[in-house]
């Protein structure tokens, strides 16, 4: 197919779109042509200047430079622009009653250790001990025995272990298997609000636009079970700041929970906990896998 002559703005866009007509993969062709249409429309709408475009290229270059095995600036861009939550919302249109999903975030590390029911995920002191417990069920209310919960969180220093080279590799993360009745339990620490990394290009964007980098206190979970849709979700602390202004737009009211203060002499106190502690009940409902 002969490409149109590229002289006017409209002809340039047409020429680029035509260049993908020979792509054999229809999905790839659709994605690339949509990207071109929307990107070109943005440039025309705002009348982007060469200086602004160069600054954008500089920000993308800096994003690549700052990204490594411990820092995922590209995910931060996706999160901070609401793209991660938009993709999640389109992909996970769940039936009524199923636990809602939210963003994965940039600090997930696969291969967490498998731990015993009720075990602690803290390899060192990291905050006030908190018992997280509940049941995993299906939409009919039946227990899902053997469901795997992959959990991770930050400590009271506002950091995830992956952000701290000196921290034990398995600190504040672990995997747990639900019992035959769907019950699960583990000891975490009460999470605290924290800022997403704001010393790079994403932070510069937030500051320039008058936005803050803070996320409300939460614990991450991925729940997997044969025959069910994998669930990526959070447990948010109802008492936390920033629930109404999460920097990555990930708060859903159905995921907010009460972290209950417990006394040191409470008879339900898990072994190994001394002094003050909290508990939070977090039941989970999985949707069946798509057929």
Averaged in consecutive runs of 10 residues, what is the pLDDT profile of the chain (291 residues)?
72 94 96 96 96 96 91 92 93 91 91 96 92 98 98 94 87 97 97 95 96 98 97 98 97 97 87 88 95 69
Asked whether 134 and 147 are in contact (CB, 8 A), the reply is no
Name the DSSP letter for residue 264.
Answer: T
Kindly tell me the burial class for residue 80, based on how many C-beta atoms sit within 10 Å of its own C-beta (0-12, 13-18, 19 or more).
Answer: buried
Torsion sign (Cα): 180, 183, 188, 191: positive
Instruction: Map residue 7 onto helix, strand or coil.
Output: coil
Beta bridge partners of 261: 278
How far apart are the C-alpha atoms of 86 and 275, rounded to whole Å?
Answer: 42
Which position has the token pair 């800096």?
A: 62
Question: What was the pLDDT predicted at 270?
Answer: 85
Which position has the token pair 């060469």?
A: 50
Question: What was the pLDDT predicted at 158?
Answer: 94
pTM comes to 0.88
Beta strands in the chain (DSSP E): 129-137, 148-152, 173-177, 183-189, 194-195, 214-215, 218-224, 231-237, 256-257, 260-262, 277-281, 284-285
Residue 231 CB: number of other CB atoms within 10 A? 24
Question: What was the pLDDT predicted at 4?
Answer: 59
């Amino acid at each position: 197919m002969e490409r149109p002559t590229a002289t006017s703005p409209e002809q340039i866009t047409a020429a680029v779109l035509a260049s993908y007509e020979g792509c054999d993969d229809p999905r790839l062709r659709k994605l690339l042509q949509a990207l071109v249409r929307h990107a070109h429309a943005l440039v025309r709408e705002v009348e982007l200047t060469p200086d602004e475009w160069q600054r954008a290229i500089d920000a993308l270059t800096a994003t690549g430079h700052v990204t490594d095995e411990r820092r995922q600036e590209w995910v931060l861009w996706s999160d901070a622009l609401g793209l991660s939550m938009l993709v999640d919302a389109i992909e996970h249109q769940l039936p009524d009653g199923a636990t809602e999903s939210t963003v994965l975030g940039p600090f997930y590390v696969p291969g967490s250790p498998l731990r015993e029911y009720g075990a602690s995920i803290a390899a060192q002191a990291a905050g006030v001990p908190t018992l997280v417990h509940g049941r995993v069920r299906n939409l009919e209310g039946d227990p899902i025995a053997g469901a795997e919960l992959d959990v991770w969180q930050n400590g009271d220093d506002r950091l995830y272990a992956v952000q701290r080279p000196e921290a034990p590799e398995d600190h504040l993360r672990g995997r747990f298997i639900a019992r035959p009745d769907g019950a699960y339990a583990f000891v975490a620490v009460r999470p605290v609000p924290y800022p997403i990394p704001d010393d790079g290009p994403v932070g510069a964007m937030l500051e320039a636009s008058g936005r803050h980098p803070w996320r409300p206190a939460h614990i991450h979970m991925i729940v997997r079970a044969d025959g069910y849709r994998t669930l990526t979700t959070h447990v948010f602390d109802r008492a936390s700041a920033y629930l109404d202004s999460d920097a990555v737009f990930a708060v859903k009211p159905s995921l907010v929970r009460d972290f209950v203060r417990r006394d040191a002499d409470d008879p339900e106190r898990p072994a190994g906990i001394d002094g003050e502690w909290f508990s939070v009940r977090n039941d989970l409902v999985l949707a069946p896998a798509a057929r």
